[in-house]
């Protein structure tokens, strides 16, 4: 239970960090879509989704539950973009929502693969490869 609590705290901290960074005012100028922006959006939402899944632990019992978690993370990404409409110098862009979504789905797929690989018993263990 302690581990899940730590994941929940991390998830909330990441959500707050995303909101805070989106609240920073940018000096108006030409819109430049940089690689660092892509890395940020992909990376932060990848980490957000991973921590969100981990924070729910055993509550995710089916693919349906996992789809709800994906939907929640995507909606959070959309709300973050909409929030930027009200911040001077910020833009709400579909490309950012798309990159956020790719990060979320990538984290989910890699998490599923990771769990599948770690849930199987090693071949040398008793009962492995039955």
The domain locations on the chain are 37-117
Percent of the chain with pLDDT over 70: 85
**pLDDT over 70 at 35, yes or no:** yes
- pLDDT for residue 79: 97
Residues whose CB falls within 8 Å of the CB of residue 82, separated by 6 or more in sequence, listed in order: 92
pTM of the prediction? 0.84
- pLDDT for residue 78: 97
- pLDDT for residue 76: 98
- pLDDT for residue 119: 77
Average pLDDT value for residue range 9-28: 89
Three-state secondary structure string covering 76-128:
HHHHHHHHHCCCCCCCCCHHHHHHHHHHHHHHHHHHHHHHHHHHCCCCCCCCC
């Amino acid at each position: 239970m302690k581990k899940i609590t730590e994941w929940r705290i991390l998830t909330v901290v990441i959500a707050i960090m995303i909101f805070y960074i989106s609240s920073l005012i940018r000096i108006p100028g030409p819109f430049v879509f940089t690689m660092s922006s892509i890395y940020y959006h992909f990376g932060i939402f990848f980490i957000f989704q991973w921590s969100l899944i981990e924070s729910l632990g055993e509550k995710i019992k089916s693919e349906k539950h996992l789809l709800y978690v994906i939907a929640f993370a995507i909606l959070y990404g959309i709300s973050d973009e909409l929030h930027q409409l009200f911040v001077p110098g910020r833009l709400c862009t579909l490309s950012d929502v798309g990159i956020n979504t790719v990060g979320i789905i990538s984290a989910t797929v890699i998490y599923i693969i990771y769990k599948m690989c770690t849930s199987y018993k090693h071949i040398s263990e008793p009962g492995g490869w039955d």
